[in-house]
A and B are shown apart, each in its own frame.
Chain A
Amino acid sequence: MDRFNRFNSGETTLTRIIVVTSGKGGVGKTTTSAALSMGLARAGHKTVVIDFDIGLRNLDIIMDCERRVVFDFVNVIQGDARLNQALIRDKRCELLSILPASQTRDKEALTREGVQAILEELSQDHEYIICDSPAGIEGGAMMAMYFADEAIVVTNPEVSSVRDSDRIIGLLQSKSRRAENNEPPIREHLLVTRYDPERVGRGDMLSIEDVEEILASPLIGVIPESESVLRASNQGIPVILDEDSRAGQAYVDVVARLTGEERPLRFTELERKGILQRMFGG
């Protein structure tokens, strides 16, 4: 077999497979996957983003390509379509492709061999493969993380999200391909999202330092709570394309850090309200 085989040959390739995961649902994985994949592609890296949320696909609508889905991830695994037929090229950035999840209710449709074959084929001509994990710690989430080189652990500053992130970190360290083969571990990056400095200032929200201290994982960024995220998803525009949005700018910083640049954190400090504003509310 002369097929490229990145997982068994021990060869290192340039492709980085990055899973976006969290354990807890609704914390911002899909928002993050869409933003980072668009950001990486716009920075000149050939990128594909894969929706692993079988049965509940959402990435397509966040990326505004829901009407262009003909074949999906499961069709390719089951041999009903070729990978090229299922990949959707983004209309805004030609270096970005999306592999949509299927709407089938059969969650067992993803097989490890099938996923491996697809990742191997994508590794031949992509620099970044972003895997948008479903919530939970069941099959789909385990499949999304299994082959990863790196993980972005999306965490909201609240108790259940932090606890679930810790469990996911444990699984990354024990149940991934790298862990099972005694290879260098998955590189973890902690991403705190929906951060609200005002509530932190009031003492009612865990601070970045608190979350970092508990999870003991290196921080790759902080995305502020921002109304622009909802506006962006309403329109099918990854929030990173909204240059006026603080969340969008924070995602730009994360992309830069992923590609090796150092950038200071932004939007993490309380913007002091003027005294008049505080007197009269607002």
Chain B
Amino acid sequence: MALFDIFKDRDRQPEGTASAAKERLKVIVAHERRQRQQPDYLAAMQRDILQVVRKYIPIDYDDVNIQIEQEGQVSVLELNVTLPNEVIER
């Protein structure tokens, strides 16, 4: 029914998939830019830490968050490991 399509005006939906694309891009680009500021060995360090923690607790690669922050005169190594809920409840 082409006639009805005109009135529905599907052609001008504001909520197309492009807005999802934009939101996802903003997140990934911000993440990758932060990563770029970090020294190359950080990824290797993250894997090492992951292996150590995994000896005791099952976690994923994403659960280890590691970065180096510049705070005035000193650099701070910031390490965050998110544990699954079950571990804490035990």
Question: How far does the Cβ of B54 sit from chain A's closest Cβ, in whole Å?
Answer: 29
B22 touches A204 (CB 8 A): no
Stretch in A83-91, A157-165, A187-195, A248-256 touching the partner = A157-165
Q: Looking at the complex, which one of A167, A170, A206, A275 makes contact with B21 (CB distance below 8 Å)?
A: A206
Instruction: Provide the main secondary structure of the chain B interface.
Output: helix
A203 touches B28 (CB 8 A): no
The yes or no answer to A214 lying at the interface (CB within 8 A) is: yes
A159→B22 CA distance, assembly (Å): 8
Interface size class of B (residues with CB under 8 A): 20 to 34
A275 touches B6 (CB 8 A): yes
Q: Which of B3, B17, B25, B33 has the most CB of A within 10 A?
A: B25
B55: chain A residues at CB < 8 Å are none
Interface size class of A (residues with CB under 8 A): 20 to 34
Question: How far does the Cβ of A175 sit from chain B's closest Cβ, in whole Å?
Answer: 11
- The answer to whether residues A166 and B22 also contact, given A201-B11, A202-B13, A203-B17 and a CB cut-off of 8 A, is no
The yes or no answer to B74 lying at the interface (CB within 8 A) is: no
The yes or no answer to A184 lying at the interface (CB within 8 A) is: no
B25: chain A residues at CB < 8 Å are 159, 162-163, 206, 214
B13 touches A167 (CB 8 A): no
Question: How far does the Cβ of A173 sit from chain B's closest Cβ, in whole Å?
Answer: 9
The yes or no answer to B39 lying at the interface (CB within 8 A) is: no
The yes or no answer to B72 lying at the interface (CB within 8 A) is: no
Question: How far does the Cβ of A159 sit from chain B's closest Cβ, in whole Å?
Answer: 5
Chain B residues within CB distance 8 Å of chain A: 2-3, 5-6, 10-19, 21-22, 24-26, 28-29, 32-33, 36
6 interchain pairs (CB within 8 A)?
A159-B25, A202-B16, A203-B13, A205-B18, A214-B26, A279-B2
- Lowest 9 CB-CB distances: which A-B pairs, in order? A203-B16, A204-B16, A210-B22, A203-B13, A166-B29, A170-B36, A159-B21, A214-B25, A203-B18
